[in-house]
Structure 1
Amino acid sequence: MLKQSYAGVRSQSAAPPLFPSYLANGDWDVVHRVPINTLRPTQASVGMRSVSAKMRRIGFHQSNQRKFDRYLERRAIPVVLGPRRDFYMIDRHHLGMALHRAEVAEAYVAVIADFSAISRASFFSCMERNGLLHPFDRSGRRIKPGGLPKRIQDLAHDPYRDLAWSVRRLGGFKKTAKPFSEFRWADFFRSRIAPDAIEQDYETAVRKALQLARTRQARALPGFAA
């Protein structure tokens, strides 16, 4: 894998075609090291339990700088270059938030595509059409793309995103390459488990979510495993 300081790639003036399933293995030929504060989210929320778990792993690897650099390189954040040549991250928001909270200044990114030459409105339309934008707030309500956080540290906490993360870790559904697939599970649980239940007894809420993940109503969700 070739590492570079970001110098830019060829721009496309027309709306791009549909994306391939590039997230299947997370392996890219060239990665760039960029400041974390330059990353633009394409979703509004994360689960803070998942962020905390990633922070613990980051802390474990930070004792050896060379190994930590390799750890980050293997977890390059896929980005699309958008208007004003901003980096729009299309995956690994939890990792980005964990790195920010751990006061890590830079991360590796892989520029999947350069859409910086198209208009802002066309950019957001194209991103959503290709499933690379999740314009919904932490309560699952739709928002305008321009209302998404401008910085990784501005991502809000969604407890249902944590619930989906915990259920997947326990085998309730399979991880898929489709971006934002766990938000579909979070919304599925959101309509069936009260927020007070998660706050008061998280483990019990996880057990209930595991049961729901194996029901017929969940069959259409990505990664259904029952």
Structure 2
Amino acid sequence: VVPVAGHHALHLGSHLGEAGRRPCKAMAGLRLLLLMQTLLLASADFCDDFDVSQLDGSDPLDYCKAQFMMGHPPKIGTVCLARPQDAFPTQAAYGEVDAGCVQREIEALAGEKDGSLRTYLMSNTVPTVIGPSGKLYITDHHHLSRALLQSFLPYDKPYIHRLLYLCINEDLSKYDEQGFWDEMQSRQLVWLYDNEGNNITVHDLPQSVKYLKDDPYRTLAMYVRQSYGFIKCGSKSANSKFPQCEGGNVTAKPYIEFKWAKLYRAQFPLPDIYDQSDQAQVIQLQSVLGQAITISLDPRNAGQEGFNRLGPKSAQQVTLDDHGCVAEDDKKKKKK
């Protein structure tokens, strides 16, 4: 179960302002325990669906690092809080435009008065592996982590709005450094390619999401996924529409967008795209989006992870706004 604030660990009271200083009510802790037990029974990996927004104003979750300090490290199947800069990436690249779109969404939610941003962060828990010395390695949501780190949030926003909700999927802290990375590679929990698709080693991975480098093909893969050119099971919209997601029981494996980006890079090289501004990059990516969707739906790629088994009839190219983000009208259609 998730440790309750004040129990075995330092809590957030000194950081979160008045709301964070309220004592954690016994009822809130009980409700959390019941919620987590239900989630553990419902799914072997509940990280995609974890949502504590129904709890009251006092936050029952602890800092991940505080739990280590107190000698009670977070356990598999629990959720704890961390700053984006304290999470170690398991990839070297990201889609800069993609992360920029997430940043815009975060900043828009931060302007709401109803706790929308906190609810958003709660519903997007970050799959995490504990490594040697208690380091926290994230295996998905690198774009969310980078976006939150670089977002401009109002100064009066409680600190809780600047934290990631890490969901502990694996504890590999018993291994030494070499053994840890051997295990991560055997479980396919690390992506060892740079932003231009070249092979790298674990020693080339950045020490923070702050140092991820832009791979435009990763942004292109995001556009194709949003168009259902390929399917990433685990998202609510995909789980409800595509039989291959088995009603939501299939969680997407990490780096699926990078795997498709690798295919697009091989099919149509865009050598000048790395030197372009974000706006020029989006224009060029938009010009090849239809081609990328067609390639994704080609039966010859049926062996590729996330291949859309429903075929072209279920795919629809998204419309982009001036920032290269999926237009609001398209977002609303996907939620239906």
Q: Which has the higher contact order (CA 8 A, sep 6+)?
A: 1
Identical residues among aligned pairs (%): 27
Structure 2: gaps of 5 or more residues: 11-42, 52-76, 154-161, 234-251, 274-280, 312-336
| Residues 120-155 of structure 1: per-residue CA shift (max 9 Å, x gap) | 001011011111111111111111112101001101
Q: Structure 1 residues 48, 23: CA separation in 2 closer, same or farther (over 3 Å shift)?
A: farther
Aligned to 1:164: 221
| Residues 31-59 of structure 1: per-residue CA shift (max 9 Å, x gap) | 21112111000011111121111112111
SS in 2 for 1:223: coil
Structure 1: gaps of 5 or more residues: 9-19
2:262 is matched by which residue type in structure 1?
D
| Residues 155-174 of structure 1: per-residue CA shift (max 9 Å, x gap) | 11001101111011111111
Contact kept? 1:197, 1:205, Cα under 8 Å: no
Displacement over 3 Å in runs of 4+: 1-8, 23-30, 196-200
Q: Structure 1 residues 4, 88: CA separation in 2 closer, same or farther (over 3 Å shift)?
A: farther
| Residues 90-121 of structure 1: per-residue CA shift (max 9 Å, x gap) | 11001001101105642111122221121000
Aligned to 2:117: 68
Give the alignment's Cα RMSD to 1 decimal. Answer: 2.5
| Residues 63-96 of structure 1: per-residue CA shift (max 9 Å, x gap) | 2373322221111111111112111001100100
Contact kept? 2:95, 2:219, Cα under 8 Å: yes
Aligned to 2:144: 95
Aligned to 2:207: 150
2:122 is matched by which residue type in structure 1?
E
1:205 is matched by which residue type in structure 2?
V
TM-score normalised over the length of structure 1: 0.85
Contact kept? 1:4, 1:33, Cα under 8 Å: no
Q: Structure 1 residues 179, 213: CA separation in 2 closer, same or farther (over 3 Å shift)?
A: same
| Residues 198-222 of structure 1: per-residue CA shift (max 9 Å, x gap) | 6462211111111111223321111
Q: Which structure features the higher share of helix residues?
A: 2
Q: 2:88 aligns with which of 40, 45, 69?
A: 40
Aligned to 1:77: 126
SS in 1 for 2:303: coil
Aligned to 2:261: 186
TM-score normalised over the length of structure 2: 0.59
- The correspondence of residues 1-226 of structure 1 with structure 2, limited to 5 A, is 2=2, 22=45, 25-27=48-50, 30-63=78-111, 64=113, 66-103=115-152, 105-176=162-233, 177-196=252-271, 199=281, 201-225=284-308, 226=311
For structure 1, which segment, 39-48 or 52-61, has the greater mean C-alpha deviation from structure 2 after superposition?
52-61
Aligned to 2:72: none
Aligned residues: 215
| Residues 171-198 of structure 1: per-residue CA shift (max 9 Å, x gap) | 1111131111111100000001121486
Q: Which structure features the higher share of strand residues?
A: 1
Q: Tell me the CA shift for residue 26 of structure 1.
A: 4.0
SS in 1 for 2:305: coil
